[in-house]
Amino acid sequence: MRLDRFLIRRGIHSTREVSRLLSEKQVIVDHLVETSGLRKIDRFTRIEVNGEILQAQEAVYLMLHKPAGYLSATSDPIHPTVIDLIEHPLREQIHLAGRLDRASTGLVLLTNDGRWSKRVTEPRQQVAKVYQVTTLDPISAETAAIFASGIYFAYENLTTRPAELELLGEREARLTLHEGRYHQVKRMFHAVGNRVLSLHREQIGPLTLDASLPPGKARSLRPDEINFFRL
């Protein structure tokens, strides 16, 4: 939204009055004087006019090291959820930017900014997700080629996008997906006759799980990390 339109909507009576406030340097946007009504703002932009704060909604962006046993949901009558692990004062407003199964561990992103989380999760953005997987049986030599050409999921009637599999051991691999279908990693291994024993997400796009973050702990994202998913 444009700043001048926001000001009119918030009770400043005319475009002339908006122009006057701007030219008299009475409008402060994110703590700096703003003189252009064309400035783009959103619901997280801090706006002050004549000393009165019209809007000051904090945007929250967190990375969580999810432990096993927590549901990727905001509330649940039976199981603890990832939100239960968050100590932030605005935790009631927070939602997940992409889920992990209850038994899976690793990187989960949380925010109260719906536009940002959409960019992380929207299928057309094709944000890469990197998983470390251990399996019950040895991973066969053909698996990488099969995953690269895609696997047909009858339930959704689609073929998965090419995925990259890097073998790390006989029963251990790093898998990079460019989409996030329901139980996708487990179903892909199931399709080649194997079974996932553990699944850990290391990375979402360019964002890597902080090695110093113990399971169950979250930290705020840095501005450069938030900007990875801005236009």
Closer by beta carbon to ligand URA, 6 or else 147: 147
Closer by beta carbon to ligand URA, 59 or else 191: 191
Contact call for residues 108 and 98 (beta carbons, < 8 A): yes
Closer by beta carbon to ligand URA, 161 or else 186: 186
CA atoms of 132 and 165, how far apart (whole Å): 10
In the complex, least distance from residue 184 CB atom to ligand URA, rounded to whole angstroms: 4
What character string, x for contact with ligand URA (CB under 6 A) and - otherwise, covers 119-138?
Answer: --------------------
Stretch that binds ligand URA, among 16-24, 83-91, 96-104, 222-230 (CB under 6 A): 96-104
Catalytic residue among 76, 84, 101, 210: 101
* Residue 183 engages ligand URA in binding (rule: CB under 6 A): yes
* Residue 111 engages ligand URA in binding (rule: CB under 6 A): no
Stretch that binds ligand URA, among 33-41, 138-146, 181-189, 203-211 (CB under 6 A): 181-189
Concerning whether 101 is annotated as a catalytic residue, the answer is: yes
What character string, x for contact with ligand URA (CB under 6 A) and - otherwise, covers 184-213?
Answer: xxx------------x--------------
Closer by beta carbon to ligand URA, 29 or else 130: 130
In the complex, least distance from residue 105 CB atom to ligand URA, rounded to whole angstroms: 9
Quick one: three-class SS letters along the chain? CEHHHHHHHCCCCCHHHHHHHHHCCCEEECCEECCCCCCECCCCCCEEECCEEEECCCCCEEEEEECCCCECCCCCCCCCEHHHHCCCCCHHHCEECCCCCCCCEEEEEEECCHHHHHHHHCHHHCCCEEEEEEECCCCCCCHHHHHHHCCEECCCCEECCCCEEEEEECCEEEEEECCCCCCHHHHHHHHCCCCEEEEEEEEECCEECCCCCCCCCEEECCHHHHHCCCC
Closer by beta carbon to ligand URA, 57 or else 80: 80
Stretch that binds ligand URA, among 7-15, 74-82, 97-105, 111-119 (CB under 6 A): 97-105
CA atoms of 194 and 186, how far apart (whole Å): 9
- Cβ neighbors of 217 (< 8 A, separation 6 or more) are 64, 65, 85
Active site residues: 101
| Residues found near ligand URA in the complex (CB under 6 A) | 100-101, 104, 183-186, 199
